Chains A and B, each alone.
Chain A
Amino acid sequence: MKQAIITIKNLSAEVEGRQILKGINLTIYPGEMHAIMGPNGSGKSTLAAILAGRDGYEITGGEVIYGGQDLLELDPEQRAAEGVFLAFQYPVEIPGVNSTYFLKTAYNEIRKHRRLPELDAMEFLTFVKEKVKLLHLPEDLLKRPVNYGFSGGEKKRNEIFQMAVLEPKFAILDETDSGLDIDALKIVSEGVNALKRPDNAQLVITHYQRLLNFIVPDFVHVLYDGRIVKSGGKELALELEETGYDEMIHAAAVPA
């Protein structure tokens, strides 16, 4: 039997005393793409943040097993080195830090962790220039500070570009579609699809069904009030588009 990439068991969490996640269960296997949909405030971004290791959340129950380890015990940088990647909903501008330098540092940290030789500046540049084409990003982006002065669409594409460079085993895309026009959405989606492999997995978090026209998930989960209230195949997203969150949630709210 295939081993899961990540297993989330009954995960509960609080922020400033308020219960946001109320027992999430989710198992993702290699080669799978899962989508989590849900209205604002359902806990989608909290789940993404907790998986990536952001401070400020208190885990009140459950566990997350990733590659046989307790993921929640690891620092964010350890998780990243182990292959977890979060594409940020709001990528951070870092003036003064050159994009190539930043990516090379990150890439080599991961190589070090995997006991692989680090790439020097020239080797890395050759490698990275290939990846830049994938996202239709201008090459001069590599010379600019990280996200600094980028348009909203460029920032989102830059997240997927970083994902292409760092080749994560498990990528979480937190509302990567928000704020994108249709062309940018297509480019981002193409990027994500191109990075899909039998040995990795993606968790796509979105508010809208629109993204799922371009990125076709294997499973769709509806998150509401800190719980997954319904799971299904890709058709669930379409159903949700037609009925809306309210109706589906009410229908699902009947305790099993």
Chain B
Amino acid sequence: MNNIIETEPNVAPAPKDEQLNSSHEALEISERNRDEPEWLLTARKEGFMSFDKLGLPTLKDEDWRFTNVAPIAKMKMAPVVKPEHHGLTEKLLSQFPFAALTGSQLVFVDGHFVPEFSSLATLPEGVKVMSLAAALATEPTLVEPHLCRHASSDTNAFTALNTAFFQDGAFIYVPAGETVAEPIHLRFISTAKEHGTTTHPRNLIVAGRDSRVTVIESHVSLSDAAYFTNAVTELVAEENAVVEHLKYQDENQQAFHIATVAAHCGRTSNVVTHSIALGAKLSRTNIFTTLAGEGLECTLNGLYLTRGEQLADHYMIVDHAKPHGASHEYFNGILADKSKGVFHGRILVRPDAQKTDAKQTNKNLLLSDDATANTKPQLEIYADDVKCTHGATLGQLNDESIFYLRSRSIPREKARRMLIQAFAGEIIDRVRCVAVREELDSLVWERLEQNQKIKIHP
């Protein structure tokens, strides 16, 4: 397992987006969101202008070399004005992953907050868990310092689009010194019946000094339409805060999912983000972390399982701005059939960030000869006393390991499954919240079994 393949993509110009390119759009933003504070309207207009300038990326764009978003550009990107829920019931809701977690849950159906499906657990005083739209109305002073400050519209067209058009999402605020013991679950459920239905969920999580919180963000679907989710989560961990964030993406096999998690980490904070990508025809998850204080630790952990013609792309930027910061990136992919995994990990160590310890690994397990993995580490180091390592592997299951297990009476298929599960387990084991880890373990296991069945009995 020691080589990396990089394929040359077919460079095709993405069609110029036609639906959104209208000069009166900025006026419409003001009109549509007229109850919002002025600073947000400004950010939205800037977002729109930025999107208009950037356009959707093409394969010629270095950061999108392996992921062709032309099908998204062709979509009509219809917003969901009024959610219809399309048959979503409490019972159906209870069957989705992590539904049994006992903490607070906010449910968003096709981008709209649904209070009757949501529930709040008992929370420490001062902790806010609510929809972002509500927070903009009732807690503007908590929202304003952070919203649109960490996820940049300047270079990322999808973030720009989200900023211009987001309707709602979650707002979580944990004041200094408070601990939210149980994970908070943000549930995004698509019920869209029409192709091209588009939502732009926007979340803001603020963990104050010395606080602790775990947030699960799940994106699931009841739909079989080719809809588009364009999510942005901004996460702020202030000094010494401990934050665990897990994004679980299991959109339907026709859907497009683009998401950005932008984390701003303060001095001696400890931030872990997990990205679990199981669904969608095409998914791209950007994780941008700014290590803005000294002595902090940040872990980016991810697992992607793909089959059919799925593509799962992860793009990371870890920005070490201050000394004594440690960052660890661990991404494993298990790719079946003709599917594709993409990993791009950029580590930036600024001149001030001496004693940085940055580590990155990306491992891909190919279950078929037709699966491909592209992995690209990118290290930019401007400080001289740092430790940065990266490694990537690509390969099939190890025959010697399979023989070892078989020689101990474990049948071949079981041996294969044990090894695949172990490969996924390396990532799952890093999830700290026990209830989440255990459920994730069985979800991934189930999915692997399904993917295997498809492979074994084509």
Q: Is B21 an interface residue (CB 8 A)?
A: no
Against B, the Cβ 8 Å flags (1 = close, 0 = not) of A85-110 are: 11010011011110000110110011
A105–B416 Cα distance when bound, in Å, is: 13
Q: Is A77 an interface residue (CB 8 A)?
A: yes
* CB neighbors of A among B379-404 (8 A): 398-401, 403-404
Stretch at the interface among B170-178, B203-211, B338-346, B407-415: B407-415
Candidates A80, A94, A102; contact of B406 at CB < 8 Å: A80
Residues of B within 8 A of A136 (CB): none
Candidates B406, B407, B418; contact of A97 at CB < 8 Å: B418
Residues of A within 8 A of B410 (CB): 77, 102, 105-106, 109
**Interface contact A95-B406, CB-CB below 8 Å:** no
A113–B426 Cα distance when bound, in Å, is: 31
Chain B contact residues: helix, strand, loop or mixed: helix
**Interface contact B408-A97, CB-CB below 8 Å:** no
Q: Is A76 an interface residue (CB 8 A)?
A: yes
Q: Which residue of B lies closest to A109 (CB)?
A: B409
Considering only CB atoms and an 8 Å cut-off, how many residues of chain B contact the other chain?
Answer: 23
Q: A95-B422, A96-B426 are in contact. Are A110 and B407 (CB under 8 A)?
A: no
Taking A85-B407, A94-B404 as given, write out 4 further A-B residue pairs in contact, using a Cβ cutoff of 8 Å, ordered by the A residue number. A55-B403, A75-B406, A86-B407, A97-B419
Candidates B400, B409, B422; contact of A80 at CB < 8 Å: B409
Q: Is A211 an interface residue (CB 8 A)?
A: no
Q: When A and B form their complex, which 9 residue pairs have the shortest distance between CB atoms, in order from nearest?
A: A96-B422, A80-B409, A106-B408, A76-B406, A92-B404, A109-B409, A77-B406, A97-B422, A81-B409
**Interface contact B408-A102, CB-CB below 8 Å:** yes
Residues of A within 8 A of B407 (CB): 52-54, 76-77, 79-80, 85-86, 88
Residues of A within 8 A of B425 (CB): 96
A184–B401 Cα distance when bound, in Å, is: 25
**Interface contact B409-A166, CB-CB below 8 Å:** yes
Residues of A within 8 A of B404 (CB): 88, 91-92, 94
Residues of A within 8 A of B426 (CB): 95-96
Could you pull out 28 A-B pairs where Cβ atoms are within 8 angstroms? A52-B407, A54-B403, A54-B407, A75-B406, A75-B411, A75-B412, A76-B406, A76-B407, A77-B412, A80-B407, A80-B408, A80-B409, A81-B409, A91-B404, A92-B403, A92-B404, A94-B401, A96-B419, A96-B421, A96-B422, A96-B423, A97-B418, A97-B419, A102-B410, A106-B408, A109-B411, A162-B408, A166-B408
A79–B403 Cα distance when bound, in Å, is: 12
Q: Which residue of A lies closest to B426 (CB)?
A: A96
Candidates A77, A79, A92, A102; contact of B400 at CB < 8 Å: A92
Candidates B398, B405, B423; contact of A102 at CB < 8 Å: B405
A95 to chain B, nearest CB (A): 7
- The CB with the most chain A CB atoms within 10 A, among B406, B407, B411, B412, is that of B407
**Interface contact B419-A110, CB-CB below 8 Å:** no
A-B contact count (CB 8 A): 74
Residues of A within 8 A of B409 (CB): 77, 80-81, 106, 109-110, 113, 166
A105–B409 Cα distance when bound, in Å, is: 9
Against B, the Cβ 8 Å flags (1 = close, 0 = not) of A209-243 are: 00000000000000000000000000000000000
A192 to chain B, nearest CB (A): 18
* CB neighbors of B among A47-87 (8 A): 52-55, 75-77, 79-81, 85-86
Residues of A within 8 A of B412 (CB): 75, 77
A120–B406 Cα distance when bound, in Å, is: 21
Residues of A within 8 A of B406 (CB): 53, 75-77, 80
B424 to chain A, nearest CB (A): 8
**Interface contact A94-B419, CB-CB below 8 Å:** yes
* CB neighbors of A among B344-380 (8 A): none
Residues of A within 8 A of B423 (CB): 96
Q: Which residue of B lies closest to A145 (CB)?
A: B422
Residues of A within 8 A of B421 (CB): 96
Q: Which residue of B lies closest to A83 (CB)?
A: B409
Residues of B within 8 A of A102 (CB): 405, 408, 410, 418
A12 to chain B, nearest CB (A): 22
Residues of B within 8 A of A105 (CB): 410, 414, 418
A110–B408 Cα distance when bound, in Å, is: 9
Q: Which residue of B lies closest to A94 (CB)?
A: B401
Q: Which residue of B lies closest to A78 (CB)?
A: B409
A66 to chain B, nearest CB (A): 15
Residues of B within 8 A of A54 (CB): 403, 407
Residues of B within 8 A of A109 (CB): 409-411, 414
Residues of B within 8 A of A166 (CB): 408-409
A102–B406 Cα distance when bound, in Å, is: 11
A97–B408 Cα distance when bound, in Å, is: 14
Residues of A within 8 A of B401 (CB): 92, 94
A106 to chain B, nearest CB (A): 4
- The CB with the most chain B CB atoms within 10 A, among A86, A106, A145, A166, is that of A106
B353 to chain A, nearest CB (A): 31
Q: Which residue of A lies closest to B409 (CB)?
A: A80
Q: Which residue of B lies closest to A88 (CB)?
A: B404
Residues of B within 8 A of A145 (CB): 422
Residues of A within 8 A of B422 (CB): 94-97, 145
A145 to chain B, nearest CB (A): 8
Residues of B within 8 A of A77 (CB): 406-407, 409-412, 415
A118–B123 Cα distance when bound, in Å, is: 46
Against A, the Cβ 8 Å flags (1 = close, 0 = not) of B88-128 are: 00000000000000000000000000000000000000000
B1 to chain A, nearest CB (A): 12
* CB neighbors of A among B405-458 (8 A): 405-412, 414-415, 418-419, 421-423, 425-426
